Amino acid sequence: MKYVLILGGVISGIGKGVIASSTGLLLKTLGLKVTAIKIDPYINVDAGTMNPIEHGEVFVLNDGAEVDLDLGNYERFLDVTLTRDNNITSGKIFQHVIEKERRGDYLGKNVQTVPQITDAIQSWIERVARIPVDKSGEIPDICIIELGGTIGDFESAPYIEALRQFQYRVGQENFAVIQVSLVPVLGVVGEQKTKPTQATIRQLRALGLKPDLIACRCSEELEARVRSKIALYCRVELEQVLSVQDVASTYHVPLLLKDQGILNYLTKRFRLDCINITPEWQ
Ligand code: ADP
């Protein structure tokens, strides 16, 4: 099983969901089976009790679970059927750990965020990643994990730590990170600014995760000079910096990513050399 973790920096609502779905779709065109998990670090057990004006519409899965809209994106982009467990919330994780504690499963141990909560997160991901999500009934090859919110949020700290540990649990060659960042275009001169991206990548590294791909959301295509600057200051190769500019329809995002070689990078990174990287639709 290979895992692709999508994180966001600088601001929320930056397009993580669309990039997660698009990456999954592209991997699927290689003939791989793709599933997805959305992590929402809020304490609500699910989105059913949340105000739609503040949070957006709730998406209802086939099993009746009321979940974040992103699960709807995954189902549409990936043509899969997900279950309530594909949406992890802090409410669900806490409930699970507290039920175990009440049953005495921890054998008198002091139950803490590390390791009990972080272990519960890792086991949940590993279990759900293996649930078949399409008609074939086969175990997926790739699991896309999207962490909601923004890197550095107080609420997401246990998830970042769990995922930091998780990369060693599953092996570095099976775990890739895509950090979605913002490149604002400032003022009348229209200059593309890289500082927020540099800061968010520094923060990511400080938390023990390193970016495989930096997906830069920008109102316009990244200039070559800006791309080189991001690569240099964030210590990645040029091919690891992707421009994800505003497009008329989010269904164009997979093509944007594909044209910048995301599949070449991920197949190399995951050592999927046996895979024919010419997508089915070419
Ligand atoms: P997040 O998961 O980070 O909260 P979403 O993926 O839900 O962000 O995207 C937030 C909004 O931005 C959505 O309305 C989505 O359609 C839009 N969006 C995302 N990427 C793009 C893009 N490249 N061009 C135009 N709109 C986009």
pLDDT of residue 4 exceeding 90, the answer is yes
- Per-residue pLDDT, 193: 94
Distance CA 182, CA 215 (A): 8
Q: What is the ipTM of this complex?
A: 0.95
Distance CA 202, CA 194 (A): 12
**Secondary structure element (H or E) that encloses residue 145, with its range:** strand 142-147
Q: Residue 279: which pLDDT band, with cuts at 50, 70 and 90?
A: low
What are the φ and ψ backbone dihedral angles of 7, each rounded to 5 degrees? -125, 160
Task: Report CA(56)–ligand 1 centroid distance (Å).
Answer: 13
**Ligand 1 atom at minimum distance from 244 CA:** 23
3-state secondary structure (DSSP) of residue 178: strand
> Mind listing the pLDDT tens digit for each residue in 233-247?
999 999 999 999 999
Report which of 28, 101, 36, 46 is spatially closest to residue 279, judged by C-alpha positions. Answer: 28
Query: Within 6 Å (CB) of ligand 1, which residues are found?
Result: 8, 12-18, 70, 244, 246-247, 250, 253
Distance CA 175, CA 214 (A): 15
**Ligand 1 atom at minimum distance from 21 CA:** 6
Task: Report CA(138)–ligand 1 centroid distance (Å).
Answer: 31
Q: Residue 175: which pLDDT band, with cuts at 50, 70 and 90?
A: very high
For the entire predicted model, the pTM comes to 0.93
For 110-128, give one letter per residue: b (16+ CB within 10 A) or e.
eeeeeebbbebbbebbeeb
pLDDT of residue 281 exceeding 70, the answer is no
Task: Report CA(280)–ligand 1 centroid distance (Å).
Answer: 26
Sign, CA dihedral 154-159-163-169, equals positive
Protein residue with least CA distance to atom 17, ligand 1: 15
pLDDT of residue 280 exceeding 60, the answer is no
Task: Report CA(130)–ligand 1 centroid distance (Å).
Answer: 28
pLDDT of residue 273 exceeding 80, the answer is no
Mutational test site, ligand 1, from 145, 182, 245, 250, max ligand atoms within 8 Å of CB: 250
**Residue type, position 135, single letter:** K
**Ligand 1 atom at minimum distance from 146 CA:** 2
Using CA atoms, how far residue 131 sits from 7, 127, 168, 200, in Å, is 23, 7, 22, 33
- Per-residue pLDDT, 278: 57
Q: Residue 276: which pLDDT band, with cuts at 50, 70 and 90?
A: low
Protein residue with least CA distance to atom 24, ligand 1: 246
Mutational test site, ligand 1, from 12, 18, 243, max ligand atoms within 8 Å of CB: 18
Distance CA 267, CA 27 (A): 9
Interhelix angle for 16-28 vs 69-78, to 10°? 20
DSSP secondary structure, 102-119, as one string: HHTTTTTPPP-IIIIIHH
Summary mean pLDDT of the chain: 93
